[in-house]
Structure 1
Amino acid sequence: MLSMHTSFFTHPDLNESEIREKDSHDSRSDIPIPSLGIRGSVIRGSTSSASTGVSTDDASVDSLDWNGDKSPSVDQDYEQMKGYSHFDTAQLDDIMEMPKVEELDELDDDLLSIKQADVESGAPAAVPRKRGRPRKHPLPAPGGQAKVTKGRSKTGCITCRRRKKKCDETKPSCQNCQKNAVVCEGYPLKEIWKSGRQRQADAVPRSLPLLIDGIETDVDRRFLDHFVYGFSRVLTLINDDSNPFKEILLPMATQHRGLMHSLMCLSGSHLSGLDPEPKLRERKYFHFHHAIQDLKDNINASSSAKSPDEEDRLLVEDPIIASTIALSLNTICEGETNGEYRPHMDAARYLLLSQQPRNEKFRQFIVEFFQYHDVSNSLTSLDRRPNLLHNDLHMPDCVPGVSAGMFLGVFDGLFNYISQITQLRDRIRERFNEGYEPAVDYQTLSEAVSVDMAIRAWETSHEPDTPNWCLAQLYRQSTWVYLYRTIRPSRPSDKIAQVVDDGLDYLDQLPHDASAFSIVLMPLFLLGCSAFLVEQRQRIKQGFENLKSYSNLRNIDPAFKVVTRVWEIMDTRMQDSWDWEKIIRDMNMDFLIT
């Protein structure tokens, strides 16, 4: 660098050898001058290149040479300083401000040989990678932004505050929790202060009340549509708008929340059998629990509202009675076989015996419905006997035509004969268990003959060759089979085979989509318990399959299971096959075949 400065101020008339010799002298005489504070080589270079009369001979330059043994003398310094005494400051400034810059083409080799000094930059120096596994969370680069120390705050995450650790408050989850392998529970919601007027405005309920109690969700709407357009047609013979479940019960349910819960539970049980979607079953149980709770609340309220001078009976509204029968039907849809229907049927019996329904149309429906299920229940149990035998449950004052009935056998008197046959069976079973011989005494036989004559004389009011007429004939055949299996020994005969075949012929004449299939299970069960022939059993099995495809009621499978068990006993202990009520009890089953 010193040679570069010297060359910039060299006189233009000097040749290359003189320049090099001059540079060598300057390099040896680079000694500070105390009086000026600048290096002598720079001044010499400046004076030699200026256009003034400053001497640049060798004598003046060599006067400051140093042989390395001792420092220059004071006299030499003084003599050197006298050479510059005639320069003033302004003249020196002019010389320094106007240097003559020469072309460097001749000195390219010298310039390229000079090693460039390292220049510091703002970028951080590269740090060599240390040995070992790298960090999961690398350290920040040197020279990066320094971490700002925070003061104590209460805005840390929930996990760090519970663990009493310092939280770095990184959102959405802090890094401290991640480093310690714990789940960051996030940050508590910020509570925004609200004025009293704002809080009062927020407290105003924004939801509207329900139009119909019990219909709250989209699933409830599905239950309601299924009840109206699908399920109600498999419950009675009537398959139009006059169906009592749509004409009587549904309008009543729109005014009574408990009855609506009962009907929605009933519809949900049937629909969940067709579609096993979990939310359907969950919503069905919701309606069931609310229906039971509402039933209890209404009965308790009616009991506490009685005055001391009233008779000892419970006065309830008609929807309460309707809820009991809806819940009993729910056990059929669910296929329950442990006697779950009993409390509901007992409650309906008690309410009907203790009071008269206020609505006459509802009274006709409820009496027919209850007697049909009560009599049918006696065919499969040893301790359930219909109230019709004691005349405690009277018919409505205005009995509609039998052809307009919702069930078959109640208003036309056929179920009276079934009840009488059930009474004969109880007497025969009692004599048999006590060891009396014969089990069928003369009095029992005489009453059986009377019932036989009544069944032969029975006629239906339905038009011939219609589905309901064929169904009525099927009921007539099954009633006679019930009488024969009660009185006669349990063994194959031409009489029983002929009656069973005729009954199956009437069953085959029913269209598969006819509403008559809604009440086919009871007569089909009686024919099945009397089918001694193998070919008859195949037709019985097909009848159960057709019935299940029509109604999808889940009490059909338990009924066929009992029939299959009766067939097994027929083939092994034929004399015991007549008492299927006892067989059902031994199977630990208790259900309705309606």
Structure 2
Amino acid sequence: MLLYTKFASPKVPKRRSRAGCNFCKEKKKKCDERRPQCARCAEKNLECTYEAVRPRQRRKKDSSQSGLVHSYQQSGGPDYDEWQDGTVAEISESDCFSPVDGKFDALSPMNFSTTSDNPLSPIDGSSTIYDYGIDDDEDHPSFLVRRNSSISVVSQARSLQPDLAMIAPCPVGSPTLEFVLPVFSEFSERPNRRALVDHFCNVLSHLIVFREESGNPFQQLVLPLSHRSSPIMNAIYALASAHMEYRGVETAEKSMYFHNRAIQGLARLIEQEDKVDKIELLAAIMLLVYYEVLVQRGRSSIVDGHLKGALTIMSSSQEESSPASLFLERAFRFYDVITALSLGSAPLSTAPAAGCLIPFPPLDAPAASSLSNVDTLLGMATTLWPIMHRLSNLLSLKNDMDRAARDNQTSKSAVLRMEFESTSQAIETALTQWEPCLPPNVVAEDGVLRSATGEEFPEQLQLQSILHNALAYRHSAFVYLYRTIYGYSARREVVQKHAHFALVHCVETVTHRGPMGALLWPLFVAACEAVSAEDRALAQKAFVGIDQRQGMTNIGQAWKIIQEVWTRLDDMRDDSPEVKDTDIWRKVSAEMGVNIVFG
């Protein structure tokens, strides 16, 4: 695919005509509407017939639509009928509430089966415009694939940033068995959209998983669904386009445009109720969660709305588990806990029982793999996640206890205090006893992984990075417990000890250049309490590393918050009551007008 640079003229929004001839409508091609015969029919020597254009009719809002309509009307969004009929050309950012939020509000809780303004990154902030050109009016992914093609194309990484060059391109198995030329033409006839699929496959999908020795699960399990689902396809376009825009690359169509179309399509899926494929619905919601976390528009309640609907769908589904459903469930579990830790809310799902989570491998992963105890989305923190889930619920419990005490509800306050103390002590004990579960035939000597025979092995550096990632979570969990839950001073020795260890492990994760997709939360929690120059240098080094690798908005915003927190900590005396303030970073983020999900 040839990319060339030029100044792109403003694109005029294209509207599909409703008065075209029957042949052009059937082929989904633009019709010049000449009478008695349009140019395309004349060229093909076909009979050209037209149907009378019927006026649009507004639908009556029945009771099955009431939840969704109410959600959009409360948000001040566009009229539902116009929006549903596609007559609303654009939806503003303020209208993009989650369509699943109001739909599932009344449902029961879910359960599961089984100091510088300079840019942080050395990436050039100037925008380069790549005009790929748009020559057709096709709105949906192409469903016609030349399966008898004798050419099999393996996608190669193109246009990667230099700091992403360490990501080896993974051979992308086509969802339709074979790729055709040009590459990714199964997905769209538009070159700019094929470039977005390329970016999703060869960059983004590698940044958000820990394990893919036999293939990337986003490519294997999610991408194939896009061929029959325009909401999933548009969500993929939105996610890839948003990541490129943050990197300073402008494409012909903005990520917000794709996001709006994905939201519209998702709402239509929800209206189908029992007729919709639950896996299609969950995949679209999951991609939109990733999009919201990536762009961080300061409206993290959208993520909460998406999660609420997705978790309810999973708990009510009676379908048998499949690799795609298990993978999506694990992804929603991760974001449920991370969102609770980020926003100070309670998780939506119930805590998994100890030992019930087992690592989720990619499809066709070898059974005897050195990565066998590494989860695709949780790394070596799989057995730590039930503890993290309970930890994420403590702040909400603490707030309930304090509220009951203020309201002089003595008995309720006593019950909540007993629950709070027993749960927090159990979590502290579990964190103290927890150790990562190493893969078979792999041992740790002085923090360095070796094979049982003492020899080096191919995945050694990757595993070392994944191990440090899990240990960073453990130490940052201690920091969160002592500071946010117990209310210890920032300069208390036990807080500083665990913050230092967490920052060391974060730097080691970056140094070994392994997966960093889940590193932001432990890095942020530990960096907030960094007092010494040494620890702050560690934090900055880790932030530079993950920003270069991941390139997402929430990383840059988190770094700005950290710098302001350090400034305020430096202005406080050791005996100042503000030093005990456990919510400095929350106050800073509120003043900045951002609400970050550290995923």
Q: 2:299 maps to which residue?
A: 338
Q: Give 1:11-26 correspondences, 5 Å limit.
A: none
Asked if 2 retains the 8 angstrom alpha-carbon contact of 1:237 and 1:519, the reply is no
Q: Name the TM-score, length of structure 2 as normaliser.
A: 0.58
For 1:260 and 1:564, how far apart are their aligned partners in 2? Answer: 38
Residue from 397, 406, 420 that aligns with 1:427: 397
Note the C-alpha offset of 1:374.
0.7
Q: 1:374 maps to which residue?
A: 336
Q: 1:477 maps to which residue?
A: 475
Q: 2:429 maps to which residue?
A: 453
Q: 1:505 maps to which residue?
A: 504
For 1:192 and 1:578, how far apart are their aligned partners in 2? Answer: 70
Note the C-alpha offset of 1:431.
4.4
Note the C-alpha offset of 1:396.
8.0
Q: Deviations over 1:464-509 (max 9, x none)?
A: 4322112121111111222221225224122222222222222222
Asked if 2 retains the 8 angstrom alpha-carbon contact of 1:566 and 1:577, the reply is no
Matched, 1:260 2:230: no
3-state SS in 2 of match to 1:517 = coil
Q: Name the TM-score, length of structure 1 as normaliser.
A: 0.58
Asked if 2 retains the 8 angstrom alpha-carbon contact of 1:374 and 1:386, the reply is yes
Question: Against the structure 1 CA distance between its residues 364 and 544, is the aligned structure 2 distance closer, same or farther, given a 3 Å change threshold?
Answer: same
Residue from 200, 222, 236 that aligns with 2:195: 222
Specify the code of the residue in structure 1 equivalent to 2:552: L
For 1:554 and 1:286, how far apart are their aligned partners in 2? Answer: 18
Note the C-alpha offset of 1:348.
1.4
Matched, 1:529 2:373: no
Note the C-alpha offset of 1:585.
4.7
For 1:567 and 1:248, how far apart are their aligned partners in 2? Answer: 43
For 1:548 and 1:398, how far apart are their aligned partners in 2? Answer: 27
Q: Give 1:266-277 correspondences, 5 Å limit.
A: 266-277=239-250
Q: Give 1:48-59 correspondences, 5 Å limit.
A: none
- 316-325 vs 401-410, which deviates more? 401-410
For 1:237 and 1:345, how far apart are their aligned partners in 2? Answer: 22
Residue from 139, 144, 148 that aligns with 1:211: 144
Asked if 2 retains the 8 angstrom alpha-carbon contact of 1:374 and 1:385, the reply is yes
Specify the code of the residue in structure 2 equivalent to 1:301: Q
Question: Against the structure 1 CA distance between its residues 248 and 210, is the aligned structure 2 distance closer, same or farther, given a 3 Å change threshold?
Answer: closer
Residue from 549, 566, 576 that aligns with 2:581: 576
Question: Against the structure 1 CA distance between its residues 513 and 233, is the aligned structure 2 distance closer, same or farther, given a 3 Å change threshold?
Answer: farther
For 1:293 and 1:236, how far apart are their aligned partners in 2? Answer: 28
Question: Against the structure 1 CA distance between its residues 193 and 388, is the aligned structure 2 distance closer, same or farther, given a 3 Å change threshold?
Answer: closer
Specify the code of the residue in structure 1 equivalent to 2:331: F
Q: 1:249 maps to which residue?
A: 222
Asked if 1 retains the 8 angstrom alpha-carbon contact of 2:358 and 2:382, the reply is no
For 2:500 and 2:196, how far apart are their aligned partners in 1? Answer: 40
Asked if 1 retains the 8 angstrom alpha-carbon contact of 2:344 and 2:395, the reply is no
Q: 2:290 maps to which residue?
A: 329
For 2:330 and 2:137, how far apart are their aligned partners in 1? Answer: 43
Q: Give 1:552-567 correspondences, 5 Å limit.
A: 552-567=551-566
Note the C-alpha offset of 1:368.
1.0
Note the C-alpha offset of 1:276.
2.9
Q: 2:378 maps to which residue?
A: 408
Cα RMSD for the two superposed structures: 3.9
Asked if 2 retains the 8 angstrom alpha-carbon contact of 1:332 and 1:592, the reply is yes
Question: Against the structure 1 CA distance between its residues 414 and 254, is the aligned structure 2 distance closer, same or farther, given a 3 Å change threshold?
Answer: same
Q: 1:201 maps to which residue?
A: 45
Matched, 1:290 2:261: yes
Note the C-alpha offset of 1:317.
3.1
Specify the code of the residue in structure 2 equivalent to 1:326: L
- 519-528 vs 252-261, which deviates more? 252-261
For 1:507 and 1:242, how far apart are their aligned partners in 2? Answer: 26
For 1:216 and 1:354, how far apart are their aligned partners in 2? Answer: 38
For 2:431 and 2:213, how far apart are their aligned partners in 1? Answer: 31
For 1:399 and 1:194, how far apart are their aligned partners in 2? Answer: 58
Identical columns (%)? 19
Question: Against the structure 1 CA distance between its residues 280 and 357, is the aligned structure 2 distance closer, same or farther, given a 3 Å change threshold?
Answer: farther
Q: Deviations over 1:142-195 (max 9, x none)?
A: xxxxxxxxxxxxxxxxxxxxxxxxxxxxxxxxxxxxxxxxxxxxxxx9x99989
Matched, 1:320 2:281: yes
Question: Against the structure 1 CA distance between its residues 442 and 215, is the aligned structure 2 distance closer, same or farther, given a 3 Å change threshold?
Answer: same
For 1:280 and 1:193, how far apart are their aligned partners in 2? Answer: 35
Note the C-alpha offset of 1:442.
6.4
Question: Against the structure 1 CA distance between its residues 513 and 322, is the aligned structure 2 distance closer, same or farther, given a 3 Å change threshold?
Answer: farther
Specify the code of the residue in structure 2 equivalent to 1:361: P
Specify the code of the residue in structure 1 equivalent to 2:335: H
Number of positions where the alignment pairs a residue of Structure 1 with one of Structure 2? 392
Question: Against the structure 1 CA distance between its residues 395 and 355, is the aligned structure 2 distance closer, same or farther, given a 3 Å change threshold?
Answer: farther
3-state SS in 1 of match to 2:376 = coil
Specify the code of the residue in structure 2 equivalent to 1:221: R
3-state SS in 2 of match to 1:230 = helix
Question: Against the structure 1 CA distance between its residues 397 and 500, is the aligned structure 2 distance closer, same or farther, given a 3 Å change threshold?
Answer: closer
3-state SS in 1 of match to 2:210 = coil
For 2:35 and 2:314, how far apart are their aligned partners in 1? Answer: 61
For 1:493 and 1:356, how far apart are their aligned partners in 2? Answer: 50
Residue from 317, 325, 329 that aligns with 1:355: 317
Relative to its length, the structure with more helix (as a share) is 1
For 1:229 and 1:328, how far apart are their aligned partners in 2? Answer: 20
Asked if 2 retains the 8 angstrom alpha-carbon contact of 1:363 and 1:396, the reply is no
Note the C-alpha offset of 1:528.
1.6
3-state SS in 2 of match to 1:378 = helix
Question: Against the structure 1 CA distance between its residues 398 and 427, is the aligned structure 2 distance closer, same or farther, given a 3 Å change threshold?
Answer: closer
Note the C-alpha offset of 1:591.
3.0
For 1:419 and 1:488, how far apart are their aligned partners in 2? Answer: 20
Question: Against the structure 1 CA distance between its residues 554 and 498, is the aligned structure 2 distance closer, same or farther, given a 3 Å change threshold?
Answer: same
Q: 1:167 maps to which residue?
A: none
For 1:317 and 1:449, how far apart are their aligned partners in 2? Answer: 39
Asked if 2 retains the 8 angstrom alpha-carbon contact of 1:371 and 1:410, the reply is no
Note the C-alpha offset of 1:544.
1.4
Q: Deviations over 1:45-67 (max 9, x none)?
A: xxxxxxxxxxxxxxxxxxxxxxx
Structure of greater Rg: 1
Could you say which structure has the greater relative contact order, defined with CA pairs below 8 angstroms and 6 or more residues apart?
Answer: 2
Question: Against the structure 1 CA distance between its residues 300 and 532, is the aligned structure 2 distance closer, same or farther, given a 3 Å change threshold?
Answer: same
For 2:387 and 2:588, how far apart are their aligned partners in 1? Answer: 23
Note the C-alpha offset of 1:229.
0.9
For 1:320 and 1:202, how far apart are their aligned partners in 2? Answer: 40
